[in-house]
A = this chain, B = another copy of it.
C-alpha cells in the first residue's frame, strides 16, 4: 500500500541526464491529487493521504483548494465503515470536461468526457465517403457549435483531443500521414483550434487507446502494457513503458502494426513487405463470416456460429502471425499485459490459449513469464476517453492554473 506515488522523492532509476527540459512526470501535489481522483474515480481522503504519502493536514488543505476551484467535491463517508472517524469521499467533478474527436473512414465521432473518465455524450456522424481533414474538422466544429450553449453553461471545457489513425506529431498537432484517410501533413489541431476556439491536441489513435486502457480499462494499474487494435484501417499499436506512453522523438513510436512477421510477404502500403498489418486483417474474416460489415462483437458471433475448417484455418493462420509480432513485442518490452482490441481481441477470444502457449514457447523465459493477454474492456468509449485525456493533460499538470477560456 505504500504509495507508488510519493511526495517529493526523486526517482532513483531516472536520473535526468539533461535538465534542459521539464520532466513531465513531475507535478506539484495539487496535480498529483487531481490525477489520482481523475484516474481512480472515488477515493476517501484517508486513502489519498496513504497514496500520496503526504501529511494529513497537507492533504486537507490541498483538497480544500480543489473544492474551491470546483475541481472535486466531497460527500459524506460511505456506508462501509471501519474503526475510527470516517473519511469523506472525494469525487471528480464531471463538469470539468474535455471534448474528443475521432475521424474514421466512415464517420467522425465527437464526444464529451468528464473528469473521472465518464463519457457524458457521444455523437457519431456518419459520412458518405472518407472525410478529408477539412471535412472532419468542419463536422467536429459544427457538432461542437451545436453543443456550445450547454457546454458554456454546464461545463468547463479544458480543450479538445483528436485521435487520428495515422502518424501524428503530438507536439505540433500535424498529421504526418494517415494512409487510410488519405491525409498528409494536415495540421488538424491547428485547424480545429481555429474553428472552435478551444485548445486542441492530436495524437495517434492507438496510442490514446493504450492510455485509455491503462488508466480506465483492462490494463488499469499496470505500468508496462502493450495495446494492439485491429480495425478496418489496419492495426495500430500503443505501448506503455514504466507508466508512460512511449512516444519517441517525434511521437511516432508504437507502430507495431508494421512488425515484420513473414519473409517474402506481401508488400505493405508502408513500403516494406511482410508487415503484420498485411498478413493479418479483418477483411478476410468478415468474408468468411459472411458479413458485409459490422463491429468486432458481431464478427465474433458470426465466426463462432459458422465454425468450419476454412474458418479455423484462417483464424489459425492469423493467430500464428499475431503470435510472432507479440513474441517480438514481449522480448522487446517485457510487459505485464497485452491488451487486444477490435478483431485482434476476437482472434484471441476464438482460440483461447493459443496465443498464450505460442508466447510461452517462442518468447524468452524471463520476459514472457508474467505476461497476460486481455481483451479490451472499454469498447467504443475507448477512443473518446483516450482523446479526452490528451485534452486533460495540461489541466492535470496544473489544476490551479488559468482555465482556458474559449474565444470563438
Interfacial residues, chain A to chain B (CB-CB below 8 A): 2-29, 31-32, 35-36, 39, 51-53, 167, 169, 176-177, 214-215, 221, 223-224, 239, 241-256, 258-264, 270-272, 324, 327-329, 331-336, 361-367, 369-370, 393-394, 396-398
Docked-complex contact B334 and A332, CB < 8 angstroms: no
Q: Is the Cβ of B369 less than 8 Å from the Cβ of A250?
A: yes
* A313 CA to B260 CA, complexed, in Å: 23
Which B residues touch A3, using CB under 8 A?
16-17
Known: A259-B332, A333-B253. A15 touches B9 (CB 8 A): yes
Known: A7-B10, A252-B364, A253-B334. 4 other contacts (CB 8 A): A9-B24, A242-B246, A249-B335, A255-B364
Q: List 12 A-B contacts (CB under 8 A).
A: A5-B26, A9-B11, A9-B26, A11-B397, A12-B26, A15-B397, A16-B32, A18-B36, A18-B221, A260-B324, A271-B364, A272-B362
Max count, chain B CB within 10 A of own CB: residue among A169, A258, A364, A396? A364
Contact check: which of B32, B271, B364 meets A361 at CB < 8 Å? B271
Chain B residue contacts of A254, Cβ below 8 A: 332
**Across the interface, which residues of B come within 8 angstroms of A261, CB to CB?**
260
CB nearest neighbor in B for A204 = B366
Known contacts A5-B26, A328-B260, A333-B248; is A35 also within 8 Å of B15 by CB? yes
- CB pair A243–B17 under 8 Å, yes or no, is yes
Q: Nearest-CB distance from A50 to chain B (Å)?
A: 9
Name, among A12, A224, A245, A328, the residue most crowded by chain B CB atoms within 10 Å (CB to CB): A12
Contacting residue for A177 out of B16, B167, B365, B393, CB 8 A: B365
Neighbour of A10 across the interface among B11, B167, B370, CB < 8 A: B11
- Given known pairs A3-B16, A17-B214, A249-B223, the reply for A258 and B364 (CB within 8 Å) is yes
- As for how many copies of this chain the complex holds, the number is 2
Decide yes or no: A28 and B9 within 8 Å by CB, A244-B242, A334-B250 being known contacts: yes
Contact (Cβ within 8 A) A7 B15: no
The distance from the CB of A328 to the nearest CB of chain B, in whole angstroms, is: 5
Flag if B365 contacts A167 (CB, 8 Å): yes
For A237, the closest partner residue in chain B by CB is B332
Report yes or no: A334 in contact with B214, Cβ–Cβ below 8 A. no
Cβ contact within 8 Å between B25 and A8: yes
Contacts known (A252-B366, A258-B331, A334-B247); A31 close to B15, Cβ less than 8 A: yes
A327 to B14, CA, bound (A): 27
Which residue on chain B has the smallest CB distance to residue A245?
B13
The residues of B that contact A334 with a CB separation of less than 8 Å are 247-253, 255
Task: Say whether B263 contacts A365, CB under 8 Å.
Answer: no
Q: Is the CB of B35 within 8 A of A17?
A: yes
A4 CB to closest chain B CB, in angstroms?
6
Residues of B within 8 A of A224 (CB): 248-249, 253
Q: In the bound complex, what is the Cα–Cα distance between A328 and B239 (angstroms)?
A: 14
Residue of B nearest to A269 (CB): B364
Contact A260 B258 (CB under 8 A): no
Shortest C-beta distance, A51 to chain B (Å), equals 5
Query: B335 touching A332 by the CB < 8 A rule?
Result: no
| A5 / chain B contacts, CB cutoff of 8 Å | 12-13, 19, 22-23, 26
Contact assessment for A333 and B246 in the assembled complex, using a CB-CB cutoff below 8 Å: yes
Task: Using A5-B12, A252-B366 as known contacts, say yes or no to A241 and B243 having CB atoms under 8 A apart.
Answer: no
